[in-house]
């Protein structure tokens, strides 16, 4: 990564650690906006460039807000013991970033999710920016560096856990001892049947 983008990333991290006035004012504005906002340019340019963003036609940036706190299932209407209600110790087995990518992909069905990254959080909300690519745009399918995403096999890659956030949630970045039953998937290895 060029030094300019590395410097941008380092400055961003320092601002977040200090909780500077820029960060606080930014979150004040974001809270008042809707949960999904289409952007002209990325907020974290260095991080976006690392993940494949280019300032050219066919790329779309979307910032999405998701909730924090325990992710609880609604209580079932029928009577049952609390142990059998299925609400305690419940987790969707997905990171918030992966869930954010899926929500953005549902909103923009003609685009494909390339990647996403964290941009901020407060006591109630967490924000991610998602990089989307238009596979039918001439600039995209004529670019040899990105036209792999135009292949039909990459349709719905967010919902199949093929983005970086999805692979991290599926444990595919774990290597070696302790990762024997992760590939090709946890369900395929029969771990869910136990």
Q: What is the pLDDT along the chain (194 residues), one digit of tens a residue?
A: 568 888 888 888 888 888 888 888 999 999 999 999 999 999 999 899 989 999 999 999 999 999 987 776 777 788 888 777 877 666 778 899 999 999 999 999 999 999 999 999 988 999 999 999 999 999 999 999 999 999 999 999 999 999 999 999 999 999 888 888 888 887 776 665 44
DSSP letters, 163-194, are SHHHHHHHTTT--STT-TTTSS-TTTTT-TT-
Q: Give this prediction's pTM.
A: 0.85
Q: What is the pLDDT of residue 194?
A: 47
- 3-state DSSP assignment of residue 34: coil
Helices (H), the chain: 3-18, 21-32, 45-50, 96-107, 138-141, 164-170
State residue 154 phi and psi, 5-degree precision. -95, 10
To the question of domain 3-170 being in CATH 3.60.110.10, the answer is no
């Amino acid at each position: 990564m060029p030094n300019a983008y590395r410097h941008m990333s380092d400055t961003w991290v320092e601002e977040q650690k200090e909780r500077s006035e820029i960060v606080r004012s930014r979150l004040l504005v974001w809270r008042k906006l809707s949960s999904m906002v289409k952007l002209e340019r990325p907020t974290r340019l260095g991080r976006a460039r690392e993940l494949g963003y280019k300032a050219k036609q066919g790329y779309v940036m979307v910032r999405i807000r998701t909730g924090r706190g325990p992710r609880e299932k609604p209580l079932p209407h029928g009577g049952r013991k609390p142990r059998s209600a299925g609400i305690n110790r419940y987790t969707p087995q997905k990171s918030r970033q992966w869930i954010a990518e899926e929500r953005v992909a549902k909103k923009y069905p003609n685009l494909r999710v390339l990647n996403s990254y964290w941009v901020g959080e407060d006591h109630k909300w967490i924000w991610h920016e998602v990089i989307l690519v238009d596979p039918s745009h001439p600039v995209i399918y004529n670019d040899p560096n990105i036209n792999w995403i135009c292949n039909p096999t990459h349709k719905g890659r967010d919902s199949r856990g093929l983005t970086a956030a999805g692979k991290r949630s599926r444990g595919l970045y774990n290597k070696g001892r302790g990762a024997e039953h992760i590939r090709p998937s946890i369900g395929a290895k029969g771990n869910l049947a136990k």
